[in-house]
Structure 1
């Protein structure tokens, strides 16, 4: 159930249980309608009847025959008055138009219509100032007065002592989600600074664990780590977790991909410079014939290689690789 349905259910529950609503002073009107609603309906009725007369003083041209002029001049106020009447006769009917309550929608409807009639009046005066004829009939004046009266009975009604009673002591109900207070806007986090060209990329601490090459029996050269001698010592092999059989196997030359995956680490020397790629397929570093590369996993058709700075990637071309 979404927020809008929940709010409507709460309103229905309150209306169906009058005893749960705090006692309010009685409001008297004309039948089921308040004085303000009757006055607003009377204003609309006059405007609706007058709308069938000609707005033009030169030829017959009412708002109903002037294209889409009728929508904002009389159509939208008519819909607003219809909803106000329906609200009294059918309390479980339409309660809002979008996120606007019925009274809010009526305020917008009569305000927009009044502005449009003011625009027509402005155009008529502009034509007369330019030495032209008066092109509007008395209908424009009546409609303008009626729409301004509608604005008074909707927008200004809560501030007028005579008709403000229609807005007093109304029960509190949950607001539509579009009418609730706005959420605060948080500043976007600053983007992480990228390393300059030629500098190694920084990796989160703890993501990659450094390898103790000294404990594995390897000596660090100037460019990369290489075996301390042509043959591993037993101490170095045991420290690296290799037994004697694996040590002898590691000394053989690798000539092609293995069908099975091995998780034993070993050193590898590629015959030519080759790229090592990350999971997305982008090259991250290179290995070559001048330095030994540490392979932490043999996946048959590819090696998982760890760089001396901790980066890990995939060497897809494993042909001619020599295992150290």
Structure 2
């Protein structure tokens, strides 16, 4: 988005250094971190899998990468630190909770002593955001309440929303991703809601491609995708997406038509996998297809020769089967 904004504004004469990514909070009277004046912003390219393990590792652009913006250094008199769930300070490039201290902080929330005690403690503001420090500069990875925990890894909703939005065939608009625990099985469901006012007949194929992309990024099989009119996304008065309300509506069954992506392709009766060694490449491919079909619980005919295991719903545990 940053790169596209700069590209579109360049013909109008906007100086690339005129607009900068910064970090601020109402509780901190806005300013927390700013880049040096005149600096031209460049996205950080990070390894998605490493970030899921809580470590920011530089990489090159590609399928396994994501981009985040560096939001600069703490303003004068302000301090920023990153801590783990227990409050211990983390080192450089380790993802954790962002805490802020400085003379610009509020004393608390008016008339809300309970909320104030939870957020303001020992002179530090617990922002509710996650991020890491890189040579003293802050990078925000997302909101703590918008994080999905799957198979021992951490995923940030905005990153998965970018993966979904890049699916060919989707109309313009930003998808939303939330996690939801299945009340029966206890398993984690990943719900992708895409803005689509009047989905055409072929929309199911596009939504299945969204599910495949997100499954591959997560290596998690339970991904549900739904289309929702853009105006039906719950938002705050300032236009921010309310993922918690979206999750509640999904769990209450109030998000419209049934989701696409959980068990696409059918589960017709499968023949036993042949015991004899295949004698040709084609026979070997068919044996692999039949094994995948059995493990993934889907029709063998729906598994293409070049489809990634993850996009079909494969996980590390299913690979062991």
TM-score tier (shorter)? under 0.3
Determine which structure has the larger strand proportion and give its number.
2
Relative to the length of structure 2, the TM-score reads 0.18
Determine which structure has the larger helix proportion and give its number.
1
| Bigger RCO (CA 8 Å, 6+ sep) | 1
